[in-house]
Amino acid sequence: TAGFVYQHLDGRLAETLGLQEAELWRVLVSHFDNVPALYAEGEFAEITRNFVLMADLVNGYIADRQPWKIAKDESRRAEL
């Protein structure tokens, strides 16, 4: 969350993406890029499904990484 980023990372995100993060970003962008065409076609339910899928992907990434645990271990802070 934004609070975590401000508390543990001085409000700054990484300047570069790792391989896993870059792939997640690619997938998110591909789903987002479909939205204008879906909107033009009146496919609002599909737009909603796209956004729910994107949220699920991000939430899964965060749950897998467990940054709240990493933040408690000074030797792993660079992983944040």
Q: Which residue has the tokens 């570069």?
A: 16
- pLDDT value at 1 more than 80: no
Average pLDDT over residues 33-58: 97
| Count of domains forming the chain | 1
What domain range includes position 29? Answer: 17-79
Greater confidence, 36 or 14? Answer: 36
**Is residue 10 included in any domain, yes or no?**
no
Q: Which two tokens stand for residue 64?
A: 């897998």
Average pLDDT over residues 46-72: 92
Residue 10 CA to residue 56 CA, distance in Å, equals: 26
Q: How much is the pTM? A: 0.79
**Is residue 5 included in any domain, yes or no?**
no
